Amino acid sequence: MRLALFGPPGAGKGTQSTFLRDTFGLRAISTGNIIRKAIREGHELGPTLDAHIKDGGLVPDEIVQDLAKSSIVRHNFDQFVLDGFPRTLSQAKWLNDFLEAYKVPLQMVIFLAVPDEVVIERLSQRRIHKLTCEPYHLLYHPPPADVDPSLIIQRKDDRPEAIRFRLETYKKVTEPVERFYEDKGLLTKISGLGSNTEIQKRILENLNPSLEYQIA
């Protein structure tokens, strides 16, 4: 199965990619998590990446494409769910050509639709695990009691100004990707509102029946 999750910041892409990973044994490939890990581990590109993401801007296409490519290749071109990639038209075209060249095209893009006010509420209440990047919400999905509280942090780009900038960037640069996948007949739009369980159920109900998959 080769899927991508698409949607605005805070739509629940990370939350649902964890669900798809656990349900179907997929690799969850989040470019955001790869970038944060590179910064945390002192990668040579760390300072450049940090400068791009801290205020909510995008990392240049060539850099993100290289990161996504390494991850897809490492996972043998299959059984993955992309989270947060592609998010520019040129990334979408690049990914299309890259996967077509290996005859492993994307099979489905799940668009989680969530309005701005919900994005703002979710992101201001989000905390993540410093090492695994697992997302939590202070109210709806609090960090488990057995996790060391010093490992639970707030992302720099979850400050109010950065959230606003991310939403603007999404509308200007990322929304056109929706049309790209619609035209290819790959886009399935589902509401990202409601409880996590309701959204999981919606995803399962909308999975393309032609996909071959096994419950992990």
| Catalytic residue set | 13, 87, 126, 155, 166
Q: Whose Cβ is closer to Mg ion: residue 104's or residue 164's?
A: 164
In this chain, which of 122, 143, 186, 203 binds ligand AP5, going by CB under 6 A? 122
32 makes contact with ligand AP5 (CB under 6 A): yes
CA count, 13 A, side-chain hemisphere, 36: 19
Residue 187 beta carbon to ligand AP5: minimum distance, rounded to whole angstroms: 16
Q: Whose Cβ is closer to ligand AP5: residue 184's or residue 201's?
A: 201
136 makes contact with ligand AP5 (CB under 6 A): yes
Task: Give the C-alpha separation, 200 to 195, whole Å.
Answer: 9
Q: Whose Cβ is closer to ligand AP5: residue 75's or residue 214's?
A: 75
Task: Give the C-alpha separation, 102 to 130, whole Å.
Answer: 35
14 makes contact with Mg ion (CB under 5 A): yes
**What are the backbone angles phi and psi of residue 188, rounded to the nearest 5°?**
-120, 120
Which residues sit at the interface with Mg ion, rule CB under 5 A?
Answer: 14
